[in-house]
Each structure stands twice: as C-alpha cells, then as structure tokens.
Amino acid sequence: MRYSGSSRRRIFAAGTFLAAAMLAGASTLSAQGSRGLYLSTDVGFAQGAGTEAALSGPNSPTRCDRLLYPSLADAPRDAGCLAGTELGGLYSFNPEMGLAGSFAVGYALGPLSVEVEALQRHQVIHNTLLTLGTQAGAAITGKETEWSPERPPWADISEFRGRQFFANLTWSVPTGGRLTPYLGVGGGLSQVAYRYYLGFARKSIAEGYLEVFGGSRAEPGASPDWQRAAAGTVSELATDVSKIGLGF
C-alpha cells in the first residue's frame, strides 16, 4: 500500500454502530404455560443508527512526504515537517437497513423463560466525504486545493457485521389467545466488526496539480520532482476494526 502525505502517526477513532433489530420470531415448545426446553429462531430487518468517525493527529504538508523522494534522506526535515498541525477531520456515516437473524436455546418454567441467544446482523454502509472541523490545522486545509475534484477525500466502511451473545429472562403475559405478549430483560457481549478505508486523491497533472504550486502543466519539467511524483497519487489507509463490549 502506498501512503502519500505525512508519514506521521494518525489516530482514527471510529464510532460504534448501535442497531435496533425488528425481528419476527418463530419458536417451539415455548407456549404459554408449558415447561421444558425450547428452541427459537428469528429473522428480520436491522436498522443501524448513524455514527461519526473523527480523524485526528498531526499532519504535515505534502512536500514532507518521504515517499516522494528517491532517498529518504532527501526529504525535508524542517520545523514545518517535524511539528505538523492537527488533522481535525470528520466523517458521518448513515447505514442502510440490513438483515438480522438469531438462534436461542431456553428453558420455560410456565410463563417464565430463561434463554441464551446468538444474533448476527449485516448492513450496507455507503462511503462519505470528509468534513474539516474548526480545529483543522494549516497542513490539511492547505491541501484542499490539491485534492482531485473527481474524487474528493472519502471514507468507506465495508463488510460491516454485528454479533450479540445474550442471556435473556422473559415473562409471558397470560391472554388466553394464540398471541402471547411478553416482558423481558437481557444482557451479554456485543461485537461490531468492519473494514475501514480512507482515501485522499490528488489532482493529476492534467487536472492542474502543478498549478497549485505556481507551476504549469505545459512545462512540467520546471516543477520540483516531488510535485510531479505526488500528482495523481492517492493517500490511503485500510484497516480492519473489531470492538467487543457489554450490551443489554
């Protein structure tokens, strides 16, 4: 993976997706008033709440990127490259409705039931564009003229999946009919996992990258080597994220 731009450390804080599943269930041996072991399966739709990912950490001007030079020793080491300024970026994601399914094993004691449940959901989350905050430093704001108008800075979340492993306690409300409402509480472990991608595409020479620095596409040889090397490149980061926490 080529990562153009500052080689300094970035910290990416990705928000946790909270999903409320609307499930239509089918169960056996759990009718009101029965006793014994039962199995339950559920399938339905899962709607995830929107979330935000904050992009923070030091950032340096493009000219400081050591990957743009034939030798690492040729890269600038002045104060502007060593100190860097704050990134201060924000991405807002809005997932589509997805699919969810669960399987549970429980024991019914009349109207009271105790069960363990495993649930999994999948959702599609479209890519989104970068928004710079008020805390964004000069290095990142100065790069706004470098970005390709065809592919402005974006982030993408793919392969999103959520898993839950819960212990539940339910109380069936007697109605005398086939439909049995119930009250319940549950808690356990909840996991979200996804692939997180960031992309910053620079203008090509044809799009006017050299002009950003006062050069000309008509005379590319007059511009510094690092500018010609940076034109048309993409700074990117791709990483797998997995988070486990308590849920209820």
Q: What is the pLDDT of residue 180?
A: 81
Identify whether the C-beta of residue 69 lies closer than 8 Å to the C-beta of residue 62: no
Q: What is the pLDDT of residue 176?
A: 77
CA distances, 74 to each of 35, 63, 169, 213, 234 (Å) = 77, 11, 66, 20, 21
What six digits make up the tokens of 48? 């995830």
Give me the residue label for tokens 């000069």: 138
- For residue 133, the SS3 value is coil
pLDDT digits (tens, 9 = 90+) for 58-89: 899 999 999 999 999 999 999 889 888 898 89
Residues in the chain where the model's pLDDT stays below 50: 1-32
CA distances, 54 to each of 10, 11, 15, 89, 108 (Å) = 11, 9, 8, 6, 46
Q: What is the pLDDT of residue 194?
A: 93
Which residues lie closer than 8 Å to 12 by C-beta, 6 or more apart?
53, 54, 55, 196, 198, 237, 239
Q: What is the pLDDT of residue 33?
A: 53
- For residue 145, the SS3 value is helix
Work out the end-to-end distance of the chain between its first and last CA atoms, rounded to an integer number of angstroms: 40
Q: What is the pLDDT of residue 35?
A: 85
Q: Residue 210 burial by CB count (10 A; 0-12/13-18/19+): exposed, middle or buried?
A: buried
pLDDT digits (tens, 9 = 90+) for 190-222: 999 999 999 999 999 999 999 999 999 999 999
Q: What is the pLDDT of residue 4?
A: 33
